Structure 1
Amino acid sequence: MTNHSTPADVLASPKKLPWYRKLGMQVLVSLLLGILVGFAFPKFASQLKLLGDMFLALIKCGVAPLVFLTIVHGIASAGDVKSAGRVGWRAIVYFEVVSSIALVIGMLAGNLLETGRGMTAVAGAVPPPAAAKAAPQGFLEFMAHIIPDNFVGAFAKGELLQVVVLAVTMGIGILAIPEDKRVKINVGLDYISEVLFSFINLVMKLAPIGTFGAVAYSVGSSGAAVLIALTQLVLSFYGVVFLFIAVVLGTIARLCGFSLWRFLRYIKDEIFIVLGTASSESALPRLLIKLERLGCGKQTVGLVLPTGYAFNLDGTSLFMSMGVMFIAHAYGVPITLEQQIGILLLMLLTSKGAATVSGGSFVVFAATVTSTGILPIEGLAVIFGVYRFMSMAIATCNTIGNSVATVVIAKWSGTFDAAVAERHLYPERFPDTAAADADQRQPRGVPMTKAG
């Protein structure tokens, strides 16, 4: 697909929508209204659970095919990444290692902080039927359950864990097909995925209604306990994201010989865009240009950064693992160490491709919670009430993580010009470069890089 955008177009400020048309603002307003209605009319609010349930049902309709196509397409596309040689396999190794670290950190934080504990106990509530009926599963039972005996049945029954297994198998099978045919298959997957993404985006427009019903019901039935639990979740999540960026990414940057603080200052405009839009994709075109200007090889930037949007979602990994533990604590569902390990392995797969659709982190999180079979899906609606606040940190962490990954892999692969990078990271030493950056706000003679 040809992109006729110029660097000036890409680095220009995006058009702003009126505040009342922004989904995040609509969700925020509905969240506040839900809290007010829950406190003022608790009996009426308890009947609004239907709105949240209907919204969740619509999401569940698209989750299975969306996760299937995302994983299949991601694995099929990885064949192209591997064919790129040393850059490709280094990128895949880095993505999987750092994503795994993020998942483990999120799970540890969820266990240590115990956010959500007592949310239902305060109001004397009991876990939902979905949680009460779920029998404890050992690791062997968990592994045996993931193998489907019917391709269509896995989708029809909503067995999303089995759908993931089918997707992985299908993706590996596509890699065995000749490259000319595989390209056509990938194009077809793109078209089908576009339809599903459009469906999910349409459903997400109904999020304010679902949020209003879910939050009103939660506050009306549990009172202030749910608000305290959600506030703890948001604050603890921001703290964990900050520590991950400062400690994990900071350590990686230091080991690779550059300052994370200097680098963040260089891409600060893109970070602010992501914070404002809560979408990591909003800064992708600009980052493609700025990272190449920083001294990273064009091929490396064009390969690593877009691929990272599917395989290296650090913020999404933190959110998913902390969210799972929040729901478990909130509804009093015990999760053994074996089950936590199984869920971590599941999230390594389901977290891939979350950035390809608006609210993708929540969609794949919903898929993960549903796939476990032991966590109540009612907790999804409660978390979605504050998802907008969390999505800002999720998108920012994803963007910073992928930007750092691009520089690290460029240095690792020998496609990084340290002298050029120094001129941009230390503008006080090179006033000419600093003045050019401030004046132009764009690279000279750098064409728009194709991100796909």
Structure 2
Amino acid sequence: MKKLFTNLTFWVLTAITLGVLLGHYYPSVALQPILEKPIKFNLWISEFEIKTTFSEFLSSLFISIVKLFINPIIFVTITLGIISMGDLKKVGKVGAKALLYFEVVTTIALIVGVLVANIIRPGDGVMTEAIQGGDISKYTKSAVAFSWWKFFWDNVTLQVLVVAIVSGIVISGRSIRHKVVEFLTPVSKTIFWGLHKVMLLAPIGAFGGMAFTISKYGIKTLLPLAKLMLTVYVTMALFVFVVLYFVLRYYQVSIFKFLRYIREELLIVLGTSSSEAGLPSLMEKLERMGCSKSVVGLVVPAGYSFNLDGTTIYLSMAVIFLAQVFNVHLDLGQILTIIGILMITSKGAAGVTGSGFIVLASTLSAIKVIPVEGLALLLGVDRFMSEARAITNFIGNGVATIWIANNEKEFNRHKMGYAFGHVERFEDIKTDNLD
């Protein structure tokens, strides 16, 4: 029993349960304003937005604190990784291989989403009268043409990734490389030590995120679009347990053991609906299970921008769903066009505020056969589906890192065996140093 109470997974799961109960039975408490207006400010290493209501305040505060660690960890990890790797050709090879992997897997995700949506047809029978209830103007106004420059400019993580790569390349060829390693190594350990302390607040963030979702939208909002939600969740599960299963099986890695290993992070992502909340911890756990620091540092940050498997599936299914709602018949050419457009626009989903709807609005505007106003149908249930998107994105980036580390022979299977066999040790909230 004592071991249970020192397990962070137990507390996160308890917090999620309490959040659901508070949101359902006492929604006025969860939505009680505690600030007059949201607090917003930007640092280059992070962007803060603290929300006003009680439940959102807790969730957004936790996510903002975690985001403080993401870019410093990315910078230190990548810089150290490139310097220690030494071979710059290998750095370019890993980066190119990662981008190719991302494109192949996200294209498979797109095709899976389109196929399942056409087989189950969740949009048949949905009443379009519900469209009158949503305001989509802020999304349609932002639905501008995709721009790689805007994508880069809005994505601080990608900027840090580029700066870190350039820094690593420049330093690796200089005589000061050993001094830089001596300086950055303790810095890295200090950052991760701080992260361990912050993760103790994860139950509070998960409680707030779940309480807000249930209190604002309510269980009843799920019923009219329950078929769409069920279809999305089933598709995400198929993608994880079929596509990603075989991706890992290629190198004899068990998807089930990996999910058990990162279960704590999955619960945090579930509670907060944000893959950012678990990103730094995922990077650390991937290193501890045998992936080299350099591969983790390159693949995870790049995947956060380019390997959004869950978001890709959702976008493809949402387009097909709205076509079915409005009885718009899409021929094979139009479906292939949608897949082609989403292959580009979905890559910008991590770099734009309100990304899901903006990218979706951009896609609908581009194909010009499905009314953009249909987005209002999705407003009520989008928050409930964001958990599935975030979790699938999160798992997909972990799988990509493991696959590429194995492919590059930068993977230690002895470490993997130890990590998978001692999951509880990595979840003990009293453990500060596992090295």
Q: Does the alignment reach a TM-score above 0.5?
A: yes
Q: Deviations over 1:33-62 (max 9, x none)?
A: xxxxxxxxxxxxxxxxxxxxxxxxxxxxxx
Pick from 92, 99, 103 the counterpart of residue 96 of structure 1.
103
Q: Deviations over 1:93-128 (max 9, x none)?
A: 11001000000000111111111112248x7x999x
Q: Would you say the 8 A contact 1:290–1:443 is kept in 2?
A: no
Amino acid paired to 1:303: L
Secondary structure at the aligned position of 1:385 is classed as: helix
What does residue 308 of structure 1 align with?
303
Whether 1:437 aligns to 2:426 is yes
Change (3 A) 1:359 1:29: farther
What does residue 115 of structure 1 align with?
122
Pick from 390, 398, 410 the counterpart of residue 393 of structure 2.
398
Whether 1:372 aligns to 2:367 is yes
Pick from 380, 383, 388 the counterpart of residue 383 of structure 2.
388
Amino acid paired to 1:388: R
Amino acid paired to 2:116: A
TM-score where L is the length of structure 2: 0.60
For 1:181-220, list aligned pairs within 5 A: none
**Aligned mates of 1:20, 1:372 — CA distance in 2:** 43
Change (3 A) 1:273 1:396: same
For 1:313-332, list aligned pairs within 5 A: 313-332=308-327
Q: Deviations over 1:337-388 (max 9, x none)?
A: 1111111111111111423456433332232223322211221111111011
Amino acid paired to 1:90: K
Q: Would you say the 8 A contact 1:250–1:260 is kept in 2?
A: yes
Change (3 A) 1:331 1:227: farther
Amino acid paired to 1:307: A
**Aligned mates of 2:430, 2:363 — CA distance in 1:** 41
**Aligned mates of 1:283, 1:366 — CA distance in 2:** 28
Structure 1 gap ranges (5+):
1-9, 31-79, 128-156, 173-181, 187-206, 220-225, 428-432, 447-452
Q: Would you say the 8 A contact 2:124–2:324 is kept in 1?
A: yes
Amino acid paired to 1:240: T
Give runs of ≥4 in structure 1 deviating > 4 Å: 16-22, 80-83, 157-161, 168-172, 226-229, 356-359, 433-436, 438-443
**Aligned mates of 2:262, 2:369 — CA distance in 1:** 42
Whether 1:420 aligns to 2:415 is yes
Whether 1:296 aligns to 2:291 is yes
TM-score where L is the length of structure 1: 0.58
Amino acid paired to 1:337: L
Structure 2 gap ranges (5+):
1-7, 29-81, 83-87, 133-139, 153-161, 167-211
Pick from 320, 328, 331 the counterpart of residue 333 of structure 1.
328
Q: Deviations over 1:44-93 (max 9, x none)?
A: xxxxxxxxxxxxxxxxxxxxxxxxxxxxxxxxxxxx99982221111111
Whether 1:234 aligns to 2:229 is yes
What does residue 51 of structure 1 align with?
none
Q: Would you say the 8 A contact 1:343–1:372 is kept in 2?
A: yes
**Aligned mates of 1:228, 1:436 — CA distance in 2:** 41
Q: Would you say the 8 A contact 1:280–1:355 is kept in 2?
A: no
**Aligned mates of 1:413, 1:349 — CA distance in 2:** 27
Change (3 A) 1:301 1:381: same
Amino acid paired to 1:306: P
Amino acid paired to 1:87: V
> 1:170, CA displacement in angstroms?
9.1
Amino acid paired to 1:374: V
Q: Would you say the 8 A contact 1:159–1:371 is kept in 2?
A: no
Pick from 247, 250, 259 the counterpart of residue 245 of structure 2.
250
Q: Would you say the 8 A contact 1:120–1:331 is kept in 2?
A: no
Q: Deviations over 1:136-178 (max 9, x none)?
A: xxxxxxxxxxxxxxxxxxxxx97967x22xx259999xxxxxx
For 1:130-145, list aligned pairs within 5 A: none
**Aligned mates of 1:98, 1:352 — CA distance in 2:** 13
CA RMSD of aligned residues (A): 4.6
Q: Would you say the 8 A contact 1:288–1:305 is kept in 2?
A: yes
**Aligned mates of 2:257, 2:131 — CA distance in 1:** 50
Q: Would you say the 8 A contact 1:103–1:318 is kept in 2?
A: yes
**Aligned mates of 2:403, 2:223 — CA distance in 1:** 40
Q: Percent identity?
A: 38
Q: Deviations over 1:198-236 (max 9, x none)?
A: xxxxxxxxx99xx98xx9xxx9xxxxxx97651100011
Change (3 A) 1:307 1:25: farther
Change (3 A) 1:411 1:18: closer
Pick from 241, 265, 268 the counterpart of residue 260 of structure 2.
265
For 1:13-52, list aligned pairs within 5 A: none
Whether 1:105 aligns to 2:112 is yes
**Aligned mates of 1:96, 1:327 — CA distance in 2:** 25
Whether 1:275 aligns to 2:264 is no
**Aligned mates of 2:262, 2:17 — CA distance in 1:** 26
> 1:296, CA displacement in angstroms?
0.7
**Aligned mates of 1:420, 1:241 — CA distance in 2:** 29
Pick from 345, 350, 369 the counterpart of residue 350 of structure 1.
345
Secondary structure at the aligned position of 1:257 is classed as: coil
What does residue 199 of structure 2 align with?
none
> 1:269, CA displacement in angstroms?
0.3
